[in-house]
Amino acid sequence: MDVVGRLLDVAARHPDAPAVVEQGGTASYRDLVARAAGMAAALARFGPHPRVAILLPQGTDAYAAMFATLMAGGYYLPCNAASVPARLETILDLFRPDVVIASETGGLSLPEGCEAMPPPPPAAAPFSPRPPHRLAYVIFTSGSTGLPKGVMIPRHALNHYAAWALEAMNPGPGDRWSQHPNIGFDLSVLDVYGALCSGAALHPLQSAMDRMLPGRFVAARRLTIWNSVPSVIDMMAKAGDLTPDRMASVRLFTFCGEPLYAAQAAALLAANPAAAIHNTYGPTEATVSCTLARLNEAGPTSGSGDTVELGAAIPGMGLHLLPTDQGDELAISGPQLADGYWLDEVRTREAFRAITVDGREIRAYLTGDIVRRDAGNRLFFQHRRDTQVKIRGYRLELDEVNAAIRALGHPEAATVLVDGRLHAFVPASGGLDVDGLRRALEKRLDSHAVPGTIHPVAEMPRNANDKIDLAALRRLVQESS
């Protein structure tokens, strides 16, 4: 069933059940569908398949806008409303939407022909869903050229993923589901469609305090399902909130976006032994996630870094190991694959390729992740094949950071990740205004992409191929710590 049909079915059966519980009040399923219908009617004037950018904070209006776009036969770009203006303008210029749904655009320069529209009022009459576009949404992730790349997720991929999530997690009326990731991060897709296609109540973390102290939000809202990147576990523990009294309501913790460590899983289970823990894995190009490991205890570890297993492929998806000079690279096949990258045939051909499996060619996405299979046939993440890293669950190309530094007049800058922290090295024989450079980067990059430490150096170390020696830079960081 299509996700729009699922929402309408839930609303018909449970019209007065809470759909979204916000700081300012609660929207029932009847309210949510009325808001979506009002938006869909307004979007219909942009043609049979409107291209929509959603620039709203996580909450009822943002979720209604997603369903409204799909109801109107269109596809959408979910934007992180807290992103820096320069990045938002770059993404909007690449996507070229017909309309931006936003309460206010904050002086953003919109593409020519793009209209800004505040969320319209709820509709008094239902809206009949129109024939769908092939795409459901486009999410822009970090790109190696310094420009973000748009991952095009088709409607059938979203439907497949939602159907799996509903079966695997069994949410329904009475469940209270967190909504921690911003809507520009594809992990939020699980929250929105998992909760609102099942009758659960979605609880967005909207204040800075809630995001700083998520464990207290869990307790205050008595959440039953928690979804986030694993590093949030450490935030809860650091705040002293990973305790039985605060975690008691949660029946399911589900994680994706970065490796889950055995110690993190063990800490959760110590706080709530009855809870189920799902570790999932998947790039944006495979519609959020494509594996599942159910952990009832700390689970098997990799022996290097103590990460838990990635899990088995979910129904319909395939995992394939391709030998490389760095180890086995994981390739993914199946109905959740993206169509490719927005207006970028070159990178699409590089990442999505035909591979031979059991004597036949199939389309696959090459993840760039090097994995290891153990004697029990379990897969464990080892490292990235390229310069792509994850910071707090956000995928980041180090070259995007380097490009921003280069644009500020430092052509030989290089960035490395050591122990989860970004370090930028900048040649500056005549001295460097480190604080000024950081302030300039904060205007160009999202907060997770700004290096935590900027190191002025006399010259950059180079390898035998006359390339900047990144391994030497990592050693410099480790030796100085």
List, for residues 135-187, the tens digit of each pLDDT value: 999 999 877 666 889 999 999 999 999 999 999 999 999 999 999 999 999 99
DSSP string, 151-203: EEEEHHHHHHHHHHHHHHH---TT-EEEE-S-TTSTTHHHHHHHHHTTTPEEE
Six-digit token pair at 331? Answer: 């390739």
CATH superfamily of 3-295: ANL, N-terminal domain (3.40.50.12780)
At residue 464, does pLDDT exceed 70? Answer: no
Phi, psi (degrees; rounded to nearest 5) at 147: -100, 140
| pLDDT value for 300 | 60
Q: How confident is the model at residue 400 (pLDDT cuts 50, 70, 90)?
A: confident
Six-digit token pair at 26? Answer: 């609660």
How many CB atoms sit inside 10 A of residue 369's CB? 22
| Each residue's pLDDT tens digit, 426-448 | 988 778 999 999 999 999 999 99
Domain with CATH 3.40.50.12780 in the chain: 3-295
| Each residue's pLDDT tens digit, 280-321 | 999 999 999 999 999 975 456 654 457 899 999 999 999 999
Q: What is the pTM of this model?
A: 0.86
Q: Which residue has the tokens 């410099």?
A: 476
| pLDDT value for 305 | 55
Half-sphere exposure of 434 (CA within 13 A, CB side): 11
Report the C-alpha gap between 85 and 135 in whole angstroms. 26
Report the C-alpha gap between 427 and 267 in whole angstroms. 43
CA dihedral 21, 25, 31, 35 (to 10 degrees): -100
Which has more confidence, 93 or 303? 93
| Each residue's pLDDT tens digit, 246-262 | 999 999 999 998 888 88
Distances (CA, A) of 14 to 9, 31, 33, 175, 375: 9, 11, 12, 13, 48
Whether 385 contacts 369, CB under 8 Å = yes
Strand (E) or helix (H) holding 90: helix 85-95
Whether 168 contacts 161, CB under 8 Å = no
Arithmetic mean of pLDDT, 213-232: 95
Whether 396 contacts 142, CB under 8 Å = yes
Task: Specify which residues 294 forms β-bridges with.
Answer: 278
At residue 234, does pLDDT exceed 90? Answer: no
| pLDDT value for 382 | 82
Domain with CATH 3.30.300.30 in the chain: 388-480
At residue 466, does pLDDT exceed 50? Answer: no
Whether 269 contacts 261, CB under 8 Å = no
| pLDDT value for 479 | 87
Average pLDDT, the chain: 92
Arithmetic mean of pLDDT, 388-405: 83
Q: Which residue has the tokens 């492929």?
A: 313
| Each residue's pLDDT tens digit, 314-333 | 999 999 999 987 789 999 99
Give which of 299, 435, 269, 450 is closest to 379, Cα–Cα: 299
Q: How confident is the model at residue 465 (pLDDT cuts 50, 70, 90)?
A: very low
| pLDDT value for 406 | 82
The CATH number of the domain covering residues in 388-480: 3.30.300.30
| pLDDT value for 96 | 98
